[in-house]
Structure 1
């Protein structure tokens, strides 16, 4: 890898616009987004409901296809990408939803193992061992065979984090991961996500309304009305 490649931003967005609907119902929801995020950086995205935060997150993740501008993730352009290319891009991401999105019919271990199954390169034994080890790391080593209905809110979110991080993704994307948690559980979950991602060298982009967790950020960006209005707020030095 040459020096230019090594310093390339993990997330590199230029002049990105996005629309919902077609014809007379077509509405622009993102306007001229420009954003660079480097490897290992923890960036929190704030802004009122409806400002476009989740939409931007889904474009970065490859869950939606960017329509206009440039959205390079790990050097690959997602704007105009094929479905196959978007699937490949999603394999580099760990996505943590606001609602934990666990499958109720699967145990904690089986839910986490799903984070490996999409890669298609691990044996059944490897997937079980990796999933169990990750649950151990998030403090749920004694809950491998528990179903979501038998876990607390904080425990469910820990399972969701384990699922997102088990494949050691280059990018961790989180949409309001503390929204349904009390203060202590929310802090524990964010600290855990920060610790594991830093150990794995992952980049974190986290959408939040939770002012209690802003101190974990290397940088805070702010969106309003589909526009990035603040892209340079740095965490104060300790």
Structure 2
């Protein structure tokens, strides 16, 4: 069975010399296509570091990190750029550009993909914003949107290019209970429709039920990780 993410014996360190500190210890994890996996654990245990390594935001130092069949350990800057373009990202603070409208923020998520015809970009951006319930907010700027609406724009931006993997770092942390539930339900629905894999870091116990699997991290180690089932 093809694993969309396969991590073997991953260690990671921050700092150099006497300040060098190990933050990830012998991580082994496999994730199947179309799985929704939630990574939990206390603040500072290494969850976000692991997410950034899988996403190509930094280069793994030791072990093996195979993502969509490509080895990221030891990857150079250009290889990491190519890896990042194949993922969708949703962050806690949504990271929208305040000077751009909702439509422009989502359109920007397509402009890096040269295989998408320029005439198709606007059409796809409008369609995904309609899917997340913001068809009447296309030309609104972020400061004109609620927290939940901003995260919906961030979801649209992450999914508009139909990535095979969506990486989400605390996407509900800044939202109230109902907005948080709406956001993760929407992520789940769209991801299943597109057949993509979600790896989500969260402290939010209210949304754990959307996961196919929950993986717990403690002090840089995975605690009794369950194996990926064949799907």
TM-score (norm 2): 0.96
Q: Matched residue pairs, number?
A: 228
Match of residue 150 from structure 1: 144
Match of residue 63 from structure 1: 57
> What's the CA shift for 1:233?
8.8
Q: State yes or no: 1:120 paired with 2:114.
A: yes
> What's the CA shift for 1:210?
0.5
d(CA) in 1 for partners of 2:147 and 2:227? Answer: 31
Q: State yes or no: 1:87 paired with 2:81.
A: yes
Q: State yes or no: 1:108 paired with 2:87.
A: no
Q: State yes or no: 1:229 paired with 2:216.
A: no
d(CA) in 2 for partners of 1:199 and 1:91? Answer: 20
Q: State yes or no: 1:78 paired with 2:78.
A: no
Q: Following TM superposition, where does structure 1 have runs of at least 4 consecutive aligned residues deviating by more than 4 angstroms?
A: none
d(CA) in 1 for partners of 2:201 and 2:118? Answer: 34
- Aligned partner of residue 28 in structure 1, secondary structure: strand
Alignment CA distance shift 1:233-1:186 (3 Å): farther
Match of residue 182 from structure 2: 188
Q: Superposition RMSD on alpha carbons, in Å?
A: 1.2
Segments of 5+ residues of structure 2 without an aligned counterpart are none
Structure with more contact order per residue of length (Cα contacts < 8 Å, sep ≥ 6) = 2
d(CA) in 1 for partners of 2:118 and 2:62? Answer: 41
d(CA) in 2 for partners of 1:143 and 1:123? Answer: 24
- Aligned partner of residue 104 in structure 1, secondary structure: coil
Q: What is the correspondence of 1:13-32 to structure 2 with a 5 Å cutoff? A: 13-32=7-26
Segments of 5+ residues of structure 1 without an aligned counterpart are 1-6
State the Cα deviation string for residues 2-41 of structure 1 (Å, max 9, x = none).
xxxxx22000000000011111111110000000000000
Alignment CA distance shift 1:99-1:38 (3 Å): same
